[in-house]
A and B are shown apart, each in its own frame.
Chain A
Amino acid sequence: MSNINRAVAARERRAGVDLLWIAAVLAVAAALARAIAFTPIESAQGAAQKIYYVHVPGAVMAFAGFGITAVTGILYLWLKDLRLDRMAESSAEVGVVFTTVTLVTGPIWAKPIWGTWWTWDARLTLTLFLWFVYVGYLVLRGAIDDRAQRARYAAVLGGLGALLIPFIHLSVYMFRTLHPMPILLKPSAPSLPPEMLTTILSCLGAFALLFGALLRARYRLATARDAVAEAEEGR
């Protein structure tokens, strides 16, 4: 095994046990335990309202991920630093995972409340488009061999894709939609009872930690992959 492979293997072993992972897993477990066992059931929707505690953090962290992709991609175009491209790639992939959770849990919540799994409502449709844009971003990256060209094209797509985010957030104000108005992320005070507000804030904090742990692990993977590729090119 070459030196570079030993270094990659050692880094992967170190990444196996780390405090951020432990904190993220414990925080998510505690936040979900609070949501399941210590948060009251909403009277109109019943237990399905508790889907809120995984659905909303999924959407918020997805937006954060794609925002990071856009910012680091634009910075890459300026500074040409491949670390920025690796961060953009990593946050796009993690953002796709969080969007997937939002798109899966949303219909499961919609079925008992709206009577349908899916409707072509502005917010749902734009969120699905956002998912397609960033899946396309990842496919595009896989299709281009030249590293600089791949980073440049991806930066443009990653930046443009993030323009959907404000439209998604404002879609409930701009269009007639089945999706409820924000009850947390809005200009006035959150319209939630205190126990539910504490639970959603705990879940947002816990899933932010999970997002950080996944993003760091994905970034390390991208760094290790590039180190191996560079070693191969140098042979």
Chain B
Amino acid sequence: MNMTVIDTESYYHAAYIAAVAIYALYAASLWWRGRSLPRRETGD
């Protein structure tokens, strides 16, 4: 029997890209906040 698989590849790619982007942006925000903390808080 020949079974046709529906084409949902673009959704799958979009979901993976979105997930990786959210985790990467959050990790970058932690790095950025940590880096800027002493300068921002103390003004030196």
Select one of A12, A44, A46 contacting B9, CB under 8 A: A46
Q: Measured between C-beta atoms, what is the minimum distance from A216 to chain B in Å? A: 10
Assuming the contacts A108-B15, A214-B30, asked whether A97 and B8 have C-beta atoms less than 8 A apart, the reply is no
Closest to A113 in B: B8
Q: Tell me, in angstroms, the Cα distance from A175 to B40 when the chains sit together.
A: 49
Q: Is the beta-carbon distance between A47 and B30 smaller than 8 angstroms?
A: no
Interface stretch, picked from A1-9, A132-140, A180-188, is: A1-9
Q: Tell me, in angstroms, the Cα distance from A108 to B26 when the chains sit together.
A: 20
Q: Measured between C-beta atoms, what is the minimum distance from A201 to chain B in Å? A: 18
Interface centre among A5, A108, A109 (most CB of B within 10 A): A108
Interface size class of A (residues with CB under 8 A): 35 or more
Q: Binary interface profile of A, 140-178, with partner B (CB < 8 Å = 1, else 0)?
A: 000000000000000000000000000000000000000
Interface of A is mostly: helix
Q: Is the beta-carbon distance between B34 and A105 smaller than 8 angstroms?
A: no
Interface stretch, picked from A75-83, A121-129, A217-225, is: A217-225
A and B contact pairs by CB, cutoff 8 A, 8 listed:
A8-B37, A15-B34, A46-B9, A47-B5, A108-B18, A109-B11, A217-B27, A225-B41
Interface residues of A (CB under 8 A from B): 1-2, 5, 8-9, 12, 15-16, 28, 32, 36, 41, 43-51, 54-55, 58, 94, 97, 100-101, 104-105, 108-109, 111-113, 210, 214, 217-218, 220-221, 224-225, 228-229, 231-232
**Apart from A15-B34, A105-B19, A112-B11, what 9 extra A-B contacts exist at CB < 8 Å?**
A8-B38, A32-B16, A47-B7, A54-B15, A104-B15, A217-B34, A220-B34, A224-B38, A225-B37
